[in-house]
């Protein structure tokens, strides 16, 4: 008899794959075994059934996914039956640990069924659902390698775990009230003894209190989303005056009452990844203005853990703010001792299961009907991306550390790239430490212990660049620096399976080859190399970064190209003096700085132009969070009729941004509608960039857009329409971040294609 060994690689651990193989084999009367072998699954069957493999692939459990299957003939052995046998630890294969999965319908039914033994149990899970990545510290995905290891199964759970007909057969995260984690509620650091801690939390939320809730991959601060007093208290405690809060609603029906959704948005909001989806708000909604000040949209998610469902089941409030619990700038808090001592919260609802991999909520937005990640984290990390088969890649391991803000890192091995969960702003020490420990955890899971190439951004002062240097020196690895916008371009090309394109890269800050701040660039790019073809007109930033925080300084600088000193002084002192922190004195200093070119950075950033229009139209005068001024400009423009036109001009292969800003300000002072001017200036800038790309495209037939500016729905649409009208192909990010969350991915792709 011929025996066969089958090795399966992909998402095959922690998703009920072995039980599935077991059932299939029994159905087909096949003998042998299945086991986890390091990062892959090994199946041995006692005969060569062709349709076994066919069925294996076609009838997969919903969360599982197969990358490769390899088959070998092996020598004869005797089996009495088909078994799931113990895992063996080895470093074979590429591990794909599944991401965390929202509670499934069956488990949800159980926690709502008063006759079920898991009635109201907040950690209910099965092979189809529950935490995965956030609780694992090593591969394979067995209970022993997760933070569930602390909770030995009770007899009832063990019966389910061992019963091949049960939904929980070999479910590694299963548990119950008798054997699993427990939930408790604290007031500051004092435990409150109540029968139902979740009910107590709901009561306090109803009274306007702030409750920290430890969930699957992290901790939220929850507040009643309709209670303006409670929201303002939260803003004060977080020192977060303006930034919008994301909300969690009871169900889709609730969301429909306040937000506009198309079918794709509905699908993603209901998906088992349960990201936060940015949706346009309906005009009449019951939320107070302080929930999302100045914005036309709102970040919305549905419950994903049993804790959330139980919270809504006890509550008559249908929507809560659910914002990450962290000290501003620091990573989300996940340790119980930190949660109960968190000053911002009045109460904390915690549990005794450890979170091993902190995983913030993912955030997505649709533009031109395609999805883009703003943050790709819980529910998606650490799922890998495949490198396009079009590229010749080297068979070596790469660690790419990303930029400075909004960082993810990526590990590349063979033809796969594993971007990490969201790490955050690494100019904060605690976040930098989180980055280091997250690298260690992912290396453990992937069983990677050395690299051939370490990659960083070109910016010499980024902490990630310095860390990359340290790692490279310590282990004597080769080191590579990659220009920021080239990394954006490479992630876009791979996302669209393309060799080359002319790329419009628009964002806030990227270190340029000339050491200036780039951010409005037209590049020719393939994955190996790039060429800067054109850009926005360079502008001066008086005092450097402070012009980003107070964009009226940027406005002064841009207008200085269009007016002489006396004219400009008059405009600034008449119309904008209040927006300068030190009034007319500051205006005098800036004017003389501009005259003498003193203490200036040079930037081609698209973000700075949008900020200047925003402040010029009286929309936003201080940036209190990233992207604030341009996001509010987009919101003001939302719903415009397109009645105004602001022309653009291109000189010396640069888009003249000064004239766009000047025209916008003039129209504003003539009393034209702010909405129409906001829309017309976004359109002018967008079409100007598109025209600049087309003029430089020559023999390239595809134009793509990348960078944080392309979260802006209107700008994305103007450029797409302009590009298509001129008979070029248009590409944008579909499955990756348009913003800096994809920089490490792009860096890794470029590194993998570099010849030694």
Rounded CA separation 277/373 (Å)? 9
Rounded CA separation 90/465 (Å)? 33
42 vs 507 by CB, closer to Zn ion: 507
Residue with tokens 């017309």: 680
∠ CA 654-658-664 to the nearest 5 degrees?
Answer: 130
Contacts of 72 (CB under 8 A, 6+ apart): 4, 5, 6, 7
Rounded CA separation 374/117 (Å)? 40
Rounded CA separation 133/66 (Å)? 18
Query: In this structure, are residues 448 and 399 in contact, taking their beta carbons and an 8 Å threshold?
Result: no
Q: Is 700 in the site for Zn ion (CB under 5 A)?
A: no
Residue with tokens 């430089």: 696
Residue count at the site for Zn ion (CB under 5 A)?
12
- The one segment of 110-118, 205-213, 504-512, 653-661 that binds Zn ion by CB under 5 A: 504-512
Min dist. Cβ of residue 125 to Zn ion (A): 6
Helices and strands per DSSP (H, E), number in the chain:
23, 32
∠ CA 247-251-254 to the nearest 5 degrees?
Answer: 75
- The one segment of 114-122, 441-449, 617-625, 734-742 that binds Zn ion by CB under 5 A: 734-742
Min dist. Cβ of residue 115 to Zn ion (A): 17
174 vs 321 by CB, closer to Zn ion: 174
Q: Which of 104, 345, 536, 558 binds Zn ion (CB under 5 A)?
A: 104
- The one segment of 202-210, 332-340, 428-436, 502-510 that binds Zn ion by CB under 5 A: 502-510
Q: Is 204 in the site for Zn ion (CB under 5 A)?
A: no
Rounded CA separation 82/40 (Å)? 19
32 vs 704 by CB, closer to Zn ion: 704
Min dist. Cβ of residue 734 to Zn ion (A): 18
Q: Which of 129, 364, 631, 719 binds Zn ion (CB under 5 A)?
A: 129
126 vs 325 by CB, closer to Zn ion: 126
Q: Is 490 in the site for Zn ion (CB under 5 A)?
A: no
CA distances from 264 to 283, 323, 365, 733 (A): 21, 24, 11, 16
- The one segment of 176-184, 227-235, 564-572, 711-719 that binds Zn ion by CB under 5 A: 176-184
142 vs 521 by CB, closer to Zn ion: 521
Q: Which of 128, 265, 318, 611 binds Zn ion (CB under 5 A)?
A: 128
Min dist. Cβ of residue 117 to Zn ion (A): 8
Q: Is 179 in the site for Zn ion (CB under 5 A)?
A: yes
| b (16+ CB within 10 A) / e for 445-464 | bbbbeebbbbbbbbbeebbb
- The one segment of 66-74, 118-126, 471-479, 647-655 that binds Zn ion by CB under 5 A: 118-126
Contacts of 51 (CB under 8 A, 6+ apart): none
Rounded CA separation 619/639 (Å)? 16
259 vs 487 by CB, closer to Zn ion: 487
SS3 label, residue 277: strand
Q: What is the largest CA-CA distance in the chain?
A: 96
SS3 label, residue 83: strand
Q: Which of 202, 737, 740, 747 binds Zn ion (CB under 5 A)?
A: 740
Min dist. Cβ of residue 285 to Zn ion (A): 33
Q: Which of 21, 25, 34, 126 binds Zn ion (CB under 5 A)?
A: 126
- The one segment of 126-134, 408-416, 606-614, 626-634 that binds Zn ion by CB under 5 A: 126-134
24 vs 154 by CB, closer to Zn ion: 154
Min dist. Cβ of residue 509 to Zn ion (A): 7
Q: Is 738 in the site for Zn ion (CB under 5 A)?
A: no
Q: Is 107 in the site for Zn ion (CB under 5 A)?
A: yes
Q: Is 178 in the site for Zn ion (CB under 5 A)?
A: yes
Residue 484 in tokens: 């920021």
Q: Is 507 in the site for Zn ion (CB under 5 A)?
A: yes
| b (16+ CB within 10 A) / e for 656-669 | bbbbbbbbbbebbe
**Of the candidates 727, 733, 672, 676, which has an alpha carbon nearest to the alpha carbon of residue 702?**
727
What is the DSSP pairing of strand 600-603 with strand 539-542?
antiparallel
Q: Estimate the crossing angle of helix 674-697 against helix 606-616, to 10 degrees.
A: 160
Q: Which of 63, 111, 173, 176 binds Zn ion (CB under 5 A)?
A: 176
- The one segment of 4-12, 107-115, 431-439, 689-697 that binds Zn ion by CB under 5 A: 107-115
Q: Is 521 in the site for Zn ion (CB under 5 A)?
A: no
379 vs 616 by CB, closer to Zn ion: 379
Q: Is 157 in the site for Zn ion (CB under 5 A)?
A: yes
Min dist. Cβ of residue 621 to Zn ion (A): 24
Residues with a catalytic annotation lie at 18, 36
Q: Is 158 in the site for Zn ion (CB under 5 A)?
A: no
32 vs 741 by CB, closer to Zn ion: 741
Min dist. Cβ of residue 419 to Zn ion (A): 15
Min dist. Cβ of residue 508 to Zn ion (A): 7
**Subset of 328-367 contacting Zn ion (CB under 5 A):** none
Query: In this structure, are residues 267 and 371 in contact, taking their beta carbons and an 8 Å threshold?
Result: no
Min dist. Cβ of residue 735 to Zn ion (A): 18
Number of Cα atoms under 13 Å in the Cβ half of residue 289 = 2
Q: Is 172 in the site for Zn ion (CB under 5 A)?
A: no
DSSP-derived secondary structure letter, 126: B
Query: In this structure, are residues 723 and 690 in contact, taking their beta carbons and an 8 Å threshold?
Result: yes
Number of Cα atoms under 13 Å in the Cβ half of residue 329 = 8
Q: Is 154 in the site for Zn ion (CB under 5 A)?
A: yes
Bridge partners, residue 637, by sequence: none
Residues at the site binding Zn ion, with contacts judged by CB under 5 A: 104, 107, 126, 128-129, 154, 157, 176, 178-179, 507, 740
């Amino acid at each position: 008899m011929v025996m066969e060994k089958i090795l399966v690689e992909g998402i095959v651990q922690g998703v009920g794959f072995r039980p599935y193989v077991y059932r299939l084999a029994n159905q087909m009367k096949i003998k042998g075994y299945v086991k986890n072998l390091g990062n892959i699954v090994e199946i041995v069957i006692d005969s060569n059934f062709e349709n076994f493999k066919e069925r294996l692939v076609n009838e997969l459990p919903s969360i599982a996914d197969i990358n490769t299957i390899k088959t070998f003939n092996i020598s004869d052995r005797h089996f009495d039956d088909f078994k799931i046998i113990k895992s063996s630890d080895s470093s074979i294969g590429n591990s794909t640990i599944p991401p965390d999965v929202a509670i499934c319908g069956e488990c949800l039914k159980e926690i709502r069924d008063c006759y079920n033994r898991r009635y109201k149990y907040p950690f209910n899970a099965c092979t189809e659902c529950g935490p995965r990545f956030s609780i694992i510290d090593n591969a394979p995905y067995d209970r022993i390698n997760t933070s569930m290891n602390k909770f030995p199964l009770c007899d009832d759970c063990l019966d389910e775990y061992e019963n091949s007909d049960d939904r929980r057969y070999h479910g590694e995260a299963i548990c119950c009230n008798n054997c699993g984690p427990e939930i408790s509620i604290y007031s500051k650091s004092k435990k409150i003894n109540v029968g139902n801690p979740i009910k107590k939390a709901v009561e306090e939320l109803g009274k306007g209190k702030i409750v920290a809730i430890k969930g699957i991959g992290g901790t939220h601060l929850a507040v009643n989303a309709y209670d303006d007093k409670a929201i303002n208290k939260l803003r004060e405690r977080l020192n977060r005056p303006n930034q919008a809060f994301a909300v969690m609603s009871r169900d889709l029906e609730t969301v429909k009452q306040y937000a506009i959704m198309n079918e794709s948005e509905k699908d993603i909001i209901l998906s088992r990844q349960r990201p936060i989806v940015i949706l346009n708000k309906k005009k009449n909604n019951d939320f107070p203005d302080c929930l999302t000040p100045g914005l036309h949209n709102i970040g919305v998610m549905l419950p994903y853990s049993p804790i959330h469902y139980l919270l809504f089941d006890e509550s008559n409030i249908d929507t809560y703010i659910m914002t990450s619990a962290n000290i501003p700038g620091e990573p989300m808090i996940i340790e119980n001792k930190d949660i109960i001592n968190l000053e911002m919260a009045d109460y904390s609802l915690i549990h005794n299961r450890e979170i091993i991999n902190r995983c913030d909520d993912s955030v997505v937005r649709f533009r031109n009907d395609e999805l883009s990640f703003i943050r790709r984290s819980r529910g998606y990390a650490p799922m890998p991306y495949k490198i396009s088969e079009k590229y010749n890649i080297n068979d070596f391991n790469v660690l790419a550390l990303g930029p400075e803000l909004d960082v993810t890192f990526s590990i590349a091995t063979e033809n796969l790239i594993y971007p990490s969960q969201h790490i955050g702003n690494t100019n904060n020490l605690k976040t930098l430490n989180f980055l280091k420990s997250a690298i260690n955890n992912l290396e453990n899971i992937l069983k990677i212990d050395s690299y051939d190439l370490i990659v960083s951004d070109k910016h010499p002062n980024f902490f990630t660049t310095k860390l990359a240097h340290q790692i490279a020196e310590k282990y004597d690895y080769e080191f590579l620096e990659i220009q920021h916008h080239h990394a954006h371009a490479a992630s876009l090309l791979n996302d669209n399976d393309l060799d080359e394109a002319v790329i419009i890269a628009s964002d806030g800050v990227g270190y340029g080859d000339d050491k200036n701040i780039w951010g409005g660039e037209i590049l020719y790019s393939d994955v190996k190399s790039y060429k800067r073809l054109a850009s926005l007109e360079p502008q001066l930033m008086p005092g450097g970064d402070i012009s980003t925080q107070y964009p009226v300084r940027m406005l002064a600088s841009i207008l200085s190209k269009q007016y002489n000193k006396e004219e400009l002084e008059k405009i600034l002192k008449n119309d904008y003096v209040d927006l300068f922190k030190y009034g007319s004195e500051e205006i005098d200093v800036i004017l003389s700085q501009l005259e003498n070119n003193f203490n200036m950075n040079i930037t081609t950033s698209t973000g700075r132009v949008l900020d200047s229009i925003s402040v010029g139209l009286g929309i936003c005068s201080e940036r209190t969070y990233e992207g604030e001024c341009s996001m509010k400009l987009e919101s003001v423009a939302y719903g415009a009729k397109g009645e105004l036109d602001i022309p653009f001009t291109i000189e010396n292969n640069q888009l003249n941004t000064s004239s766009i800003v000047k025209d916008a300000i003039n129209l504003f002072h003539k009393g034209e509608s702010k909405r129409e001017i906001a829309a017309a200036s976004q359109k002018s800038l967008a079409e100007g960039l598109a025209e600049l790309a087309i003029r430089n495209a020559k023999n390239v037939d595809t134009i793509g857009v990348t960078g944080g500016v392309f979260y802006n729905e209107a700008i994305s649409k103007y450029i797409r329409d302009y590009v298509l009208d001129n008979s070029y192909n248009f590409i944008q990010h579909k499955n990756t971040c348009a913003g800096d969350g994809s920089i490490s991915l792009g860096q890794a792709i470029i590194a993998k294609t570099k010849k030694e």
